[in-house]
Amino acid sequence: MPCEPDIRTVPLHATAGCPPPEASFRALRVAVVYEDFAAGRRAQAAWEQVQQLLGTGLPAIDASWKFDVLRLPKLRQIAAEDAAGADLVVIASHETASLPACVHTWMDLWLGQRSGQPQSLLALLGATPPEPDAGIPLERELAEMATRAGLSFWSLPEEALVPEADFSALADCLPRVSRVSTAETKTPADV
């Protein structure tokens, strides 16, 4: 059954669907790029909430990169490789208009290295403007980029509290991973 974002679950907004989850026997991978400590903490809280929905004890590999280090070409390349192999990429910023040039360069590198596996992008962005129809320009930009790249896209404005967000539809888009390692699943016949 295809995973369809539930736009009615406010405050988490979805603008693109996601592929059906698939069973796999590998760790779930997440890459986080964040503006500052507060944005990084918000991304970590969101990721922990998604992990809880997926089930405790699931293996996960995560890589976190502060915007500032993305200014360094070698580190930006490594961060792009991390994102290219991730199931979930989180961009956490207080911005609503645009991201720094180094983050745009990183995004181009990341998308150029993707192998085509299903990925989801979660954007944790600044506060929604007072004019409700204005929306968040950065959210629109990232949603369009995600659509072009074939990513599932989810966003949460800064005024929305992460603990109150419903991440269940996002969790449903991520691949299922085993709770035990393959070494633990061997039978006597395999030895």
145-185: per-residue pLDDT in tens? 999 999 999 888 888 777 777 778 788 777 765 433 333 33
Domain span including residue 61: 27-125+141-173
**Into how many domains does the chain fold?**
1
Q: Is residue 76 part of a domain?
A: yes
- Contact by Cβ (8 Å): 59, 51: no
Determine the pLDDT at residue 149.
93
Dihedral pair phi/psi, residue 24, rounded to 5°: -150, 165
- Contact by Cβ (8 Å): 5, 147: no
Measured CA to CA, the distance from residue 70 to residue 95 in angstroms comes to 17
- Which two three-digit tokens encode residue 152? 């599932």
Res 130 pLDDT > 90: no
Handedness of CA 130, 134, 135, 138 (dihedral sign): negative
Q: Mean of the pLDDT values across residues 129-145?
A: 82
Res 104 pLDDT > 60: yes
Res 70 pLDDT > 90: yes
Q: Is residue 2 part of a domain?
A: no
Q: Is residue 133 part of a domain?
A: no
Q: What is the CATH number of the domain that holds 39?
A: 3.40.50.360
Q: Is residue 59 part of a domain?
A: yes
User: Highest mean pLDDT range out of 11-25, 37-51, 84-98, 100-114?
Assistant: 100-114
Dihedral pair phi/psi, residue 174, rounded to 5°: -85, 150
Measured CA to CA, the distance from residue 33 to residue 149 in angstroms comes to 18
